[in-house]
Structure 1
C-alpha cells in the first residue's frame, strides 16, 4: 500500500501553490471564551470552489501522464470533490465526468457544471455514486480520481496541515478535523505529526454515518450507515483502506456529533464568526459546542472548516432546527372554541409575553373531534426557553389547549 510522507505533502504544496489559496486562520473569540481554550478556524470554506477538495484534486491531476489526460477523468463526489476535479480538469484542458448522489445539493451540482464537467446523478449516498463512476470508467477508459483513498489526493489535502503549522508558528496543540472517507484528516495528520508528534488530531463524524469511527474501534475498515445527514460532504458509508491505515496510526480520537448539534454549530458560526459553513465544515465546531471534546485551559485548538458549499434551501431548514433547539423558535398547534374572539385571545397571549408570530394558519372547516372547534397552527419567534415556558403557562391559565411541536 502506498504510504504518504511529509515530503510528499511538501512536494504537493509546491505543485498546487499557484492554484489554491492560502486560506485565513481566524480566532473565534466567543468559542475561546466559552471553552477557556484558544480556538481558531482554518477557513477552507473560503478556498476556491468553496472547499479544501481542490487541493487534492489538482495535485492528483498534475500527476497524470499525457495518455491518461487524453482519456479524460471521472470522479464520484457528494459535491466538493466534484468541483475541485471539474476546475482542475478545466485548467488542464481535459474532459471530466462527475458522478454525484441524486440528492446532492443543487448549488453543488450547478457549480460543478459551471466548471465544464459532465454530471451524472445516481443513488442516495456517495457510495452509490462511486459505484456508478466505476461502471462508466470501465466503459470509457477515463482515469478515476478517488476523492480520498489516493496518495496524491491525501498529500494535496495535507497541505492544509502545513499551512496550519506555518500560520500558527508551530503553536498548536490540537486540530479538530471532519471525517468522511478520511482524505483530509489523513493528510493533515501526516503533515502535523511529521512536524510535531505531540500535536493531537481529533476526527469528527456525524452519528448518522460513523463509518471511520466504527473502523477505528474495530481495527479494520467497517461500513456504517444509520440515516441520511445534513453533513453531505462526509456522508461516506465505507472509508478507504489507505486513509484508514494512516488514521489508525496518526489520529488520537474520533468522536461523533448529532444532526441537531451540527445545525446548531452552523448557526453559531454564522452569528459569531460571520462564516457560512456546510454541515461537514461545522462538525469541528459542533464537537466543542456539544462538549464532546473538552479542551484544557489555554489549549491552542484549530477547527478545520472544510467547506462552505451549502444550499440556501437546506440552510433555511437547518436554521429552523437550530433555532428551535436554542428556544428561539417554536411551532404550536392550538385547539380553540369556534366562537368570535378565540383567535384574538391566543394572539394576545403571545404578544403580551413579548413573542413574535412568524406565520399562522386557521382551520375552521375541520371535521371529527374539531366539530364546533377550530385548529390554529403558528410558528413563533421567541428569545429563550424561559419565555416559552411563560407563554405555555399563560395558555394553560386561559384554558387554551396547545401542543408544541
Structure 2
C-alpha cells in the first residue's frame, strides 16, 4: 500500500445521526466533549507556524501545528490529562497505569504529577532512551516489556488487574480522543481562512479521531488525510478491509506510530470521517524532518514529521497548486544518536542524492574520466577497492537537485562506456552495502595508504587527480560527506619504488591538504591489505 488510499465512503450528511449518534451536536457528542475538554491546566495552545521554505518549494501554503511545543514535546499530554482529570478521587488515589512507546507515557506521568497520583508506565524495550528518561524525570514508574506497543499494552492490562490500577488508554477512549480534538479547535481559531486538507499521523488513531470529529462537525469541507508508514499501516489496512487488521510486526523507526492493532472506537470514527490515507516510507520521513528543521530550526521525531512527508507526496502525485495544507507536527522526542541515520537518509528521501554502482576499466585515467562526467555536481560518497585486474566497481553518491535526475545520470554514464546500476531506491545498498565496500586484495602491490583532509568544495577531488603522476594508480578510495567544512578521505596509492621518495613527497606537498600516512597501521594490514 504505497500511495494515497481512499477511506470508505462516508455516510451522507442526513444519515449521520443514525449511523454515528455520538457525533451529532448533543450533550454526549464528541463535539461537546471536545469543547468541554480540560487540557489547559497542563497543556498550552501550540502555535500554527507557516513553513515558508517548504511552501515556496512545493507551490502550496503549508502550516505546521506545532504540538512539539508542548511541555512533553508531544500532543499526548492533552488526552492523558483530560482522561485522568475525569477519574474519581478513589481511582486517582489507587493510581493509574498505561502502555506507551513514549509520548503518551510522558503525558500520563506529568498528568499524574500534576494531580498527585501514582503512575506506572509500561513501555516496549525498543522505546527511545530519551522518552524513558523523560518519564522517569516526571516521576513515573517505568516497566519495560516487549518489542512493540501491543506487547507493552497486554502486559499493562495484567499489572492493572493485579495492582488495582486504572488503565489510561493511549487512544481508544472517548476522553482521550476528546482531549486530542482540542488541537482542531485551536487550528480553526488560529486560521480562519480556507484550509484544503489537514494531514494527521496515525498510530492507534486517537489524534486523527479527535481532529476529524471536530473538523467534520464544524468545517466538513476540509479534507482529513491520515498518514502512516509502510511498515506500520494498521489503520489504512483496516479501513481497506472494512474491519480491524492486526499487523504481524511493525517498524521501529517511527516508534510513535508503531501500533499493530488500532482501537475499536478510533477505527469506527476514522473509517467514517477520514477522507484519504497517504502511506510514506522511512526516507520520506527523514526528508520531512530536515524540511521542518530548515523552516523552524526544530528537530521532530519521525512520527512527528509524517504529516509533512505526506503533504509533499500528496502534492507530487496530485499536482496541487495554491492550496492550503496543515500538518500536525505531533512530537519531537528524538534520540540524538538517531540523527546520523536521519541526515544520511534525508538526502535520498528528498531525492537530493543519487546512488550508483559503476563499473570502470581498471586502467590509469579511468577514475579521472568518470569524475569529469560528474561535472560541477558534489560527490557525497565514494567507495572503491581494487579487486580485479580488468575492471573496477565503485559505489558513488552524487548530489542531485531534481527528481528523477538519477536516471538521467545513469544514462550519461552508460553512454560513456561505464556500466551503471542505479541504487537510489535499493534498500540493501542504502542500509548495508555502502558501508561494506572494500576488503583485502592481492593486487594492492606497492600500495601506500594516506588519510587526507579535503575542503568540502567542488573541484577538490579533481585537483587531487590532476596533480597525481600519470603512472600512479588509485587502489583504494573512501569518502563520505559528513556535512562539515572539511571532508576526510582515505586513499590507497600504488606508487612505483622509483617514485616513492621525492616524487611522492613533492606530490603531497603540492596539494596543500593535511594528511597522515597509514601504511603501517595494524587495522589497515588486518582488514584491507
- TM-score in terms of structure 1 length: 0.84
The answer (yes or no) to whether the contact 1:288–1:294 under 8 Å persists in 2 is: no
Task: State the match for 1:333 in structure 2.
Answer: 383
Task: State the match for 1:380 in structure 2.
Answer: 481
Residue by residue over 1:223-259, the C-alpha shift from the partner in whole angstroms, topping out at 9 and shown as x without a partner, is 1255523211000010001000011111000110001
Give distance in 2, aligned partners of 1:318 and 1:206.
15
Higher Rg: 2
Matches within 5 A, 1:30-179: 30-169=53-192, 171-179=194-202
Evaluate the alpha carbon distance shift between residue 99 and residue 293 of structure 1 in structure 2; reply closer, same or farther with a 3 A threshold.
farther
**2:44 is aligned with 1:17:** no
Quote the offset at 1:298 in angstroms.
Answer: 2.2
Evaluate the alpha carbon distance shift between residue 375 and residue 121 of structure 1 in structure 2; reply closer, same or farther with a 3 A threshold.
farther
Evaluate the alpha carbon distance shift between residue 193 and residue 355 of structure 1 in structure 2; reply closer, same or farther with a 3 A threshold.
farther
Quote the offset at 1:316 in angstroms.
Answer: 2.3
Evaluate the alpha carbon distance shift between residue 170 and residue 183 of structure 1 in structure 2; reply closer, same or farther with a 3 A threshold.
farther
Residue by residue over 1:316-374, the C-alpha shift from the partner in whole angstroms, topping out at 9 and shown as x without a partner, is 22212223552277444321453557656998899873469xxxxxxxxxxxxxxxx97
**32-41 or 64-73, which moves further after superposition?**
32-41
Match of 2:337 among 305, 313, 323: 313
Residue by residue over 1:3-57, the C-alpha shift from the partner in whole angstroms, topping out at 9 and shown as x without a partner, is 4511110000xx2223211101111112222332211000001111000000000
Evaluate the alpha carbon distance shift between residue 173 and residue 245 of structure 1 in structure 2; reply closer, same or farther with a 3 A threshold.
same
Give distance in 2, aligned partners of 1:168 and 1:272.
19
Quote the offset at 1:312 in angstroms.
Answer: 0.4
Evaluate the alpha carbon distance shift between residue 350 and residue 165 of structure 1 in structure 2; reply closer, same or farther with a 3 A threshold.
closer
Task: State the match for 2:522 in structure 1.
Answer: none
The answer (yes or no) to whether the contact 1:165–1:171 under 8 Å persists in 2 is: no
Taking CA–CA contacts closer than 8 Å with sequence separation of 6 or more, which of the two structures ends up with the larger relative contact order? 1
SS for the counterpart of 2:131 is helix
Evaluate the alpha carbon distance shift between residue 165 and residue 22 of structure 1 in structure 2; reply closer, same or farther with a 3 A threshold.
same
Quote the offset at 1:377 in angstroms.
Answer: 4.1
The answer (yes or no) to whether the contact 1:207–1:258 under 8 Å persists in 2 is: yes
**2:300 is aligned with 1:300:** no
Residue by residue over 1:59-91, the C-alpha shift from the partner in whole angstroms, topping out at 9 and shown as x without a partner, is 000110111111100000010000000000010
- TM-score in terms of structure 2 length: 0.65
Task: State the match for 1:399 in structure 2.
Answer: none
In the alignment, structure 2 segments of 5+ residues that lack a partner are 1-19, 23-28, 354-377, 387-442, 463-473, 485-491, 493-529
The answer (yes or no) to whether the contact 2:250–2:259 under 8 Å persists in 1 is: no
Task: State the match for 1:270 in structure 2.
Answer: 293
**2:306 is aligned with 1:200:** no
Residue by residue over 1:274-313, the C-alpha shift from the partner in whole angstroms, topping out at 9 and shown as x without a partner, is 2211111111111122346647322221111001111101
Length, aligned pairs only: 367
Give distance in 1, aligned partners of 2:44 and 2:319.
29
The answer (yes or no) to whether the contact 2:289–2:301 under 8 Å persists in 1 is: yes
Evaluate the alpha carbon distance shift between residue 76 and residue 37 of structure 1 in structure 2; reply closer, same or farther with a 3 A threshold.
same
RMSD across aligned positions (CA)? 2.8
Give distance in 2, aligned partners of 1:116 and 1:182.
27
**205-214 or 30-39, which moves further after superposition?**
30-39
Evaluate the alpha carbon distance shift between residue 177 and residue 351 of structure 1 in structure 2; reply closer, same or farther with a 3 A threshold.
closer
Task: State the match for 2:302 in structure 1.
Answer: 279
Evaluate the alpha carbon distance shift between residue 354 and residue 44 of structure 1 in structure 2; reply closer, same or farther with a 3 A threshold.
farther
The answer (yes or no) to whether the contact 2:304–2:329 under 8 Å persists in 1 is: yes
Match of 1:8 among 28, 33, 47: 33
Evaluate the alpha carbon distance shift between residue 112 and residue 165 of structure 1 in structure 2; reply closer, same or farther with a 3 A threshold.
same
Any runs of at least 4 consecutive aligned residues in structure 1 with deviations exceeding 3 A, and if so which?
A: 1-4, 290-296, 328-333, 336-356, 373-378, 380-383
